[in-house]
Amino acid sequence: MLLPVTAGINNEGRITIGGCDTGDLKSGYGTPLYIMDIATVKMQCEKYINSFAFKDFESEIIYASKAFCSLAMCQLVKQQGLSIDVSTGGELFIAIRSGFDPGKIYFHGNNKSADEINFGIDYKVGTFIVDSFEELEAVNEIAGQKECIQKIMLRITPGIKAHTHKYIQTGAIESKFGFGIQSGIALEAVKKAADLENIKLIGVHAHIGSQIFNIEVYDSLIDVMTSFMAEASKKTGASLNHLNIGGGLGIKYMPDDRPASIEDFAELVHNALLKYTKKNDIKIEKIYLEPGRSIAGNAGTTLYEAGTIKEIPQIKNYIAIDGGMSDNIRPVLYQAKYNAFIAGRASYLGEIKDGEAVGGASPAGSTSTLANFNEKKYNIVGKHCESGDVIIEDIMLPEARKGDLLLVAATGAYCYSMSSNYNGQPKSAVVAVEDGKSWVWVDRQSYEDLYMRDRKLYE
Ligand code: LLP
């Protein structure tokens, strides 16, 4: 699945999502527009819940809200039975305001402020994921002042490198996150946590990276973590039998991407749990997962309007869109690749089934030849004052026209949540689509919103 599972092409040759015509979405809400397909989010949540429902281990699926956080998204994952991971006071606030049961909130962050810790404890956040000795002490102290016992997990650095972009690897020894196993610091942290009286250590956590395709690293992760849990339990007397293995499952951005399915991921995790609990002689009661991208990513698409089409003969053709790096920073930041479609004239794609273009002139999308279409190679660029503001390089598309609607796939995760007002670009609206209906999840910012919090030159 590259596009949302409900995507199709209607008789007018326009792409539809959740039964809504992208042309109508453009007229109703304007562009750039983030479109979230509720059916795809629900399907992904359901796959996680069902595939990780093991007989021999309890499990909890925690949505990593950094992927896409809004009141409605929190409410949707809650309705689907997921818990939530927040990484700052801000995400925590949104989760609380969405009506999330605080007991199902997992509070991350490698540098929580005293205010954030106070806020979390006041709101009765279920579990803090503690990242440093300073935080252990601060949580213990603040919980003591409030006469409560705070449940925590310790973030462990397992010393495992996931083969993904270096900015989104987090499990290696040199990582800024967590307590390292190899250095002996993780063991110290377990000892310390076990001694602190206002803290209840319930388990350990590791997150090794994001957009992971080689899921075998989770096998190594479970080996390393269960071995550490066994050693730490023996040496400290702490009973460590809850294991949180973070998020990271990769998704399809490009036609050739072959990410593992949630089902295969679950099977690998299950087998690894059976194998390594035996090998390392430890009982695991509960496993936790924290998917973000694989819940929200393919559910989202971004609709743009093509403006200037610039052709530099024999060199490059550009399609400039009405958004860019302010609504999707990922190509600039991580050299991330995206695929796009001409949504208003999509018959060149043949059909779209299960989120994939099939049987058209260009089933594979980006680089293949569009027989019978006057195809051209384009760079899709944004409207920002940066040459690097490129959303897609070298994509083959039917000859583009000013006013064409362009739909970029797989933008549901880490696009809206990483968006900015660079160049005074108001943040785009987010609309939800389901069963032929569409409605706003997040309003488009106005120009007024851009200076609402500004003050005068002097008081
Ligand atoms: N748990 C923890 C502790 C995390 O730090 C993350 C992501 C997740 C779960 C969710 O990972 P996911 O399932 O989404 O891969 N901005 C980058 C991704 C940064 C991920 C940060 N942590 C990007 O756009 O690729």
- pLDDT tens, residue by residue, 128-165: 999 999 999 999 999 999 999 999 999 999 998 776 66
Residue nearest to atom 5 of ligand 1 (CA): 207
| Residue 82: strand, helix, or coil | coil
413 CA to centre of ligand 1 in angstroms: 9
Match domain 8-37+297-451 to its CATH number in 3.40.600.10, 2.40.37.10, 3.30.420.10, 3.30.530.20.
2.40.37.10
Atom index in ligand 1 nearest the CA of residue 67 equals 14
Residues framing ligand 1 (Cβ under 6 A): 64, 66-67, 85, 108, 168, 207, 210-211, 246-249, 290-294, 330, 334, 413-414
409 CA to centre of ligand 1 in angstroms: 19
The pLDDT of residue 165: 64
Atom index in ligand 1 nearest the CA of residue 211 equals 15
CA dist 382 to 27, 34, 289, Å? Answer: 21, 15, 35
CA dist 443 to 72, 144, 324, Å? Answer: 12, 41, 18
Query: Measured between alpha carbons, how far is 298 from 292 in angstroms, rounded to an integer?
Result: 11
211 CA to centre of ligand 1 in angstroms: 8
| Among candidate residues 31, 34, 35, 20, the one with its CA nearest the CA of residue 304 | 31
Q: Is 69 a catalytic residue?
A: no
The pLDDT of residue 366: 46
Indicate yes or no: pTM above 0.75.
yes
- pLDDT tens, residue by residue, 16-42: 999 999 999 999 999 999 999 999 999
Q: How much is the mean pLDDT over the chain?
A: 95
The pLDDT of residue 173: 74
> Does 261 score more than 70 pLDDT?
yes
The pLDDT of residue 171: 65
- pLDDT tens, residue by residue, 340-383: 999 999 999 999 999 999 877 554 444 444 555 688 999 999 99
| Among candidate residues 299, 341, 342, the one with its CA nearest the CA of residue 432 | 299
Query: Measured between alpha carbons, how far is 96 from 90 in angstroms, rounded to an integer?
Result: 10
247 CA to centre of ligand 1 in angstroms: 6
Atom index in ligand 1 nearest the CA of residue 418 equals 16
Mean pLDDT of 276-304: 98
Domain boundaries, the chain: 8-37+297-451, 39-293
Mean pLDDT of 299-320: 97
- Residues 370-396 as b/e (b if ≥16 CB within 10 A, e otherwise) read beebebbebbbbbbbeeeebbbbbebb
126 CA to centre of ligand 1 in angstroms: 21
Amino acid at 157: T
The pLDDT of residue 162: 72
Mean pLDDT of 223-234: 97
- pLDDT tens, residue by residue, 408-450: 999 999 999 999 999 999 999 999 999 999 999 999 999 999 9
Residue nearest to atom 23 of ligand 1 (CA): 414
For the 39-293 domain, the top CATH level (class) is alpha beta
The pLDDT of residue 369: 47
- pLDDT tens, residue by residue, 236-254: 999 999 999 999 999 999 9
Q: Choose, from 20, 45, 69, 385, the residue flagged as catalytic.
A: 385
